[in-house]
Amino acid sequence: MRIAVLADVHGNLPALEAVVNEFQVQGIDQVWHLGDAVGYGAEPFACLQLMADLETVMIMGNHELATLDPAKAAGFNHLAAEAIDWTRKSLSPDVLAILKSFPSFLSPFPEVALFHGLPGNINGYLRTAETAGSVLDYLERTDPRIRYAFFGHTHRTMVFTQLVGRPTRMFEPECDLTLAPGRRYLLNPGSVGQPRNGDPRAQYLIYDQEEGQIRFRQVDYNIQKAQSRIIEADLPPSLAARLSQGM
């Protein structure tokens, strides 16, 4: 089975459509999204609808949480808070009920876990080897069968890996990855809708179960179209500008 693992679409429909257009060529059998389908971008409903059409496995992100509960946006910067307020007003009660159904942690296969920020803390950031070591310990206690966990939230493609009894390593992948026996991995596919690693292309990964491989993908899309839709929706212009910068 070949699984497309996406994160942080953030209402950017042109970026999501460009990624989905690859799926037939890439032989994708299933799609997972690791949270923050909404927020920042101008087309949250269309993104949710497209992922529903693909029967995507959806995880709760901090922007879904803040859309459902305004108090959860208290720690957001003013741009994110304004976009979340707009998102909340733009979605119907039925769609909000769907957001509420998203789990914060899921294990679709015995060896795999999915979460947004940190397991047990949607808002937490997984950025350092020290934090990754703690997460791997937590997953080991939760279910020792888990070898691979996929997460989002940082908007940066990242890999953490640990051989039992050895220190946790972190790196930003520059090529595809073969999953080594005996190692455990935490993998971030980067962001589809708002990358923050200096590369403005839509980013995701493909998890090939049978081959034990991870393929990191970067997809060109019509950034100007996404920017125009943000401006037309009267969202903060800086949310449009940053798409060109990948920041």
Question: pLDDT digits over 107-149, tens only?
Answer: 999 999 999 999 999 999 999 999 999 999 999 999 999 999 9
- Residue 75: domain span: 2-245
Which pLDDT score is estimated for 247?
Answer: 83
Which pLDDT score is estimated for 1?
Answer: 93
Per-residue pLDDT band for 165 (boundaries 50, 70, 90) equals: confident
Using CA atoms, how far residue 73 sits from 39, 70, 81, 92, 168, in Å, is 11, 5, 6, 19, 32
Q: Alpha-carbon Rg of the chain, whole angstroms? A: 17
CATH number of 240's domain: 3.60.21.10
**Range 53-80 average pLDDT:** 95
Query: By the 8 A CB rule, do 156 and 188 touch?
Result: yes
Q: Which amino acid is at 162?
A: Q
pLDDT digits (tens, 9 = 90+) for 168-224: 999 999 889 999 988 999 999 999 999 999 999 999 999 999 999 999 999 999 999
The domain tally of the chain equals 1
pLDDT digits (tens, 9 = 90+) for 4-45: 999 999 999 999 999 999 998 999 999 999 999 999 999 999
First-to-last alpha carbon distance for the chain, in angstroms, is 33
Helices (H) and strands (E) in the chain, counts: 9, 12
